[in-house]
């Protein structure tokens, strides 16, 4: 009964008018401040009825972001990458090359006006995309994000493969999700990801799935349509490439 009720609630995330969500993919590495500014502007335009909903896929150069619930003690190496304070929910997370970030700007006025159900929908979206690669994944009580169970001779653990951190203003969402396709997993060691200790971080490639970013994007689109409805091609709010400096030259510290 509970799973049926949840399924019925999530089904309300599909717009009754069938209007598709614009789907855009940026090339290169998008600077975080530019992405936030573009999201803020698009969310405001959606709330005003002046723009269509948008899912925006991109990669960032290596950086850490601190959500509204972040604790300073969870930033273990502040000098490693730039640290950006963010208005999204959640704690510290890492973004960088090989990780697909999807910023989700949806009008929840047309999708049930239920933030909890919206987050459940994001979880189902990610889990469904991973299922396209034969990777079973799920959520865990008290732990944000999407997790996979790993086992070997004499050992078992759960690793995080995707993060969720959103903000809702005037019933329009922004920020979104990140899926680890093939990032440098060592880059997560500068933080306590999402404030959760005792568990690891993984990626599709780390799990033995040699997925490309294009293949991950296709799986994300397929799963998104099942949860949130149809999509249509859209334009990226920000384009252009960031040439990343060598590690020794990268700027560090809080931004």
Helix (H, G, I), strand (E, B) or coil at 198: coil
Residue 2: predicted pLDDT: 34
Domains (ranges, CATH) in the chain? 2-234 (3.30.930.10)
Cβ atoms 90, 69 nearer than 8 A: yes
Which regions of the chain are under pLDDT 70?
1-9, 194-198, 240-255
Residue 7: predicted pLDDT: 54
Which two three-digit tokens encode residue 125?
A: 């979206």
Residues tagged active-site: 194
Please give the helix or strand (H or E) that residue 222 lies within, else none: helix 213-228
Which two three-digit tokens encode residue 108?
A: 């929840």
Residue 9: predicted pLDDT: 57
Cβ atoms 81, 250 nearer than 8 A: yes
Which two three-digit tokens encode residue 124?
A: 């189902």
Residue 47: predicted pLDDT: 98
CA distance 9 to 3: 10
Cβ atoms 90, 164 nearer than 8 A: yes
Cβ atoms 159, 137 nearer than 8 A: no
Residue 142: predicted pLDDT: 73
Which CA distances in Å does 48 have to 86, 169, 206? 23, 12, 43
Residue 4: predicted pLDDT: 42
Cβ atoms 158, 151 nearer than 8 A: no
Find tokens 């963010």 and name the residue: 86
Alpha helices in 12-151, H assignment, sequence order: 32-47, 115-131
């Amino acid at each position: 009964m509970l799973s049926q009720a949840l399924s019925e609630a999530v089904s309300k995330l599909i717009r009754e008018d069938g209007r598709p969500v614009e789907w855009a993919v940026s090339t290169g590495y998008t600077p975080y401040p530019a992405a936030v500014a573009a999201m803020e502007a698009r969310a405001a335009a959606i709330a005003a009825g002046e723009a269509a909903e948008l899912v925006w896929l991109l990669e960032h150069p290596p950086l850490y972001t601190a959500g509204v619930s972040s604790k300073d003690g969870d930033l273990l190496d502040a000098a490693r990458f730039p640290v950006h304070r963010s208005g999204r929910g959640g704690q510290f997370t890492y973004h960088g090359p090989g990780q697909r970030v999807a910023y989700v700007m949806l009008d929840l006025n047309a999708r049930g006006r239920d933030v909890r159900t919206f987050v459940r929908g994001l979880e189902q979206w990610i889990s469904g995309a991973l299922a396209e690669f034969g990777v079973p994944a799920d959520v865990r009580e008290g732990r944000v994000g999407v997790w996979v169970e790993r086992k070997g001779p004499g050992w078992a653990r759960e690793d995080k493969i995707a993060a969720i951190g959103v903000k809702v203003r005037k019933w329009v969402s922004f920020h979104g999700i990140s899926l680890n396709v093939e990032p440098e997993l060592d880059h997560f060691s500068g933080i306590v990801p999402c404030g959760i200790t005792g568990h690891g971080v993984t990626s599709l490639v780390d799990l033995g799935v040699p997925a490309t970013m294009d293949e991950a994007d296709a799986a994300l689109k397929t799963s998104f349509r099942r949860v949130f409805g149809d999509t249509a091609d859209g334009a990226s709010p920000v384009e252009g490439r960031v040439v990343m400096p060598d590690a020794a030259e990268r700027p560090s510290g809080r931004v």
